[in-house]
Homo-oligomer: A and B are copies of this chain.
Amino acid sequence: MTLTNTIRKFGRGVAVVGAGMSKFGAFPGKNSRDLFVEAYQEMLASVDKGFDPRDIEALFIGNYSSDLFENQGHTAPIMADWVGLAPRPAVRIEDACASGGAALRQGLMAVASGLYDIVLVGGIEKMTDLPTERVTDTLATAADMVYEIPAGFTFPGFYAAMATAYMAQYGAPTDVFLQVGYKNHESGALNDKAQFGQRIADIMEARKKSAAKKGQPIPTWANEMEFLHDNRANPMIAWPMRLYDCSPISDGAAAVLLVSEEIANRFTDASLHVIGAGQASDGALHDRATLTAIPSAKKAAQDAYAMAGVKPADIGVVEVHDCFTIAEIVASEDLGFFAPGEGWKAAEDGVTARGGARPINTSGGLKSKGHPVGASGVGQVIEIWKQLRGQAGARQLDGNPSLGLTHNVGGTGQTCVVHIFERR
């Protein structure tokens, strides 16, 4: 009765018919509940044909650690209450930075199970109330506190280790990481929800102006790569990862409305059908055979492609989990877009830029859009929703893509969740 390699399907289809998010950023006066209300309201407004919100039957809330970030547990029913949906069941789903993707997966299963026709999936995180060092410590609890953290690692260190392994194995230069960050800022500048809605060139010019205003020596960066190589402008965090290689500390929320496929057209004539879903787990980083790939991502992607019956080449728009720039390159290989060791070349050649043959992270990615960890996996779906429906504005991809993919990682890949969406 071994079930390995069996392609599994949901008992019935599920579609996304609404999607919204708060702005991502640092909002000192707002709790996660306030941000969730903002995301919920935008989600409501996004439903083309409208609907009665009281028809929502259950809530699935992705959240990493309201416990440690806000000193608030049991956060799911608070979210239900604040959008007026109590007494509907509300549950929090946690898989570290993959909590949002995992919540989406629970919502899918809930509808596919026949129990519900209409459910809300949310993602929330409020990180900026803590001082930075405590945020780093809190994020570190997503690694193994018995075996990994006592060895002196925190997440920049983990991903730096992956980056150095990748460089050693494939000959990638450090510059390619900076290029990924540069690229994601180029797209994030076109996203009004992004935490850092500025191109690197804009940031550089703003720094020069600020120096002039203060009567300080004006920096002489000739171009963006000079800026990104400047240890004062872009300090080293954990070699080779610099500040602009790391996603920020963020507050934010996102929400999507899932319904059973057969009623999707009551809500919209342009729904996103979830045709592929995969999730996988893994042990601690030191137990892995490789540091240059994330096995759970490969497995989750395989399962999602198999369920969807599509190949990597069929995917038109992709949001990957670029918590660090190295993670985007590794993801581009784990997802099968490039062969192992080829991802960095594609990044260097502009293939993954918005105008390239394989655009990745048109939203700006976690790097520029922001990374409120429990919200990120749901936030990725917002970009797929916009791109597949032709609503992405200045960052809209050409060619009317009909298939999108999200890739959401927890820890260093102790969890990975992949979903594939088709516009119908």
Contact = CB atoms under 8 A, between A and B. Distances in A.
Contacts of A287: 81
Interface in A74-94: 74-78, 80-81, 85-94
A41 to B, nearest CB: 19
B283 A72 contact: no
A114 B415 contact: no
Contact of A109 (B12, B72, B109, B117): B109
A289 interface: no
Given A89-B280, A93-B94, 10 more contacts: A4-B54, A11-B112, A11-B113, A11-B115, A72-B141, A72-B146, A77-B282, A87-B299, A91-B94, A106-B106
Nearest to A82: B283
Contact of A74 (B3, B95, B118, B296): B95
A414 interface: yes
B91 A31 contact: no
6 contacts: A2-B54, A74-B94, A74-B410, A88-B280, A91-B94, A91-B106
Contacts of A75: 94
Contacts of A8: 57, 114-116
Nearest to A142: B74
Contacts of A414: 74, 77-78, 81
Nearest to A106: B106
B281 A86 contact: yes
Contacts of A80: 281
B95 A76 contact: yes
Given A92-B95, A141-B74, A114 B281 contact: no
A154 B119 CA distance: 32
A159 interface: no
A1 B52 contact: yes
A375 interface: no
A77 B299 CA distance: 15
Interface in A129-188: 138, 141-146
A284 B283 CA distance: 38
A192 interface: no
A281 B89 contact: yes
How many copies of this kind of chain does the complex include? 2
Interface residues of A, number: 82
| Most chain B CB atoms below 10 A, which of A52, A78, A105, A146 | A78
A254 to B, nearest CB: 18
Contacts of A77: 95, 281-283, 410-411, 414-415
Contacts of A86: 280-283
Contacts of A281: 59, 76-77, 80-81, 85-90
Interface stretch (A61-69, A242-250, A332-340): A61-69
A397 interface: no
Contacts of A102: 91
A295 to B, nearest CB: 7
Given A10-B113, A87-B281, A280-B87, A411 B74 contact: yes
B106 A67 contact: no
A283 B95 contact: no
A70 interface: yes
A311 interface: no
A194 interface: no
A113 B117 contact: no
A277 B116 CA distance: 12
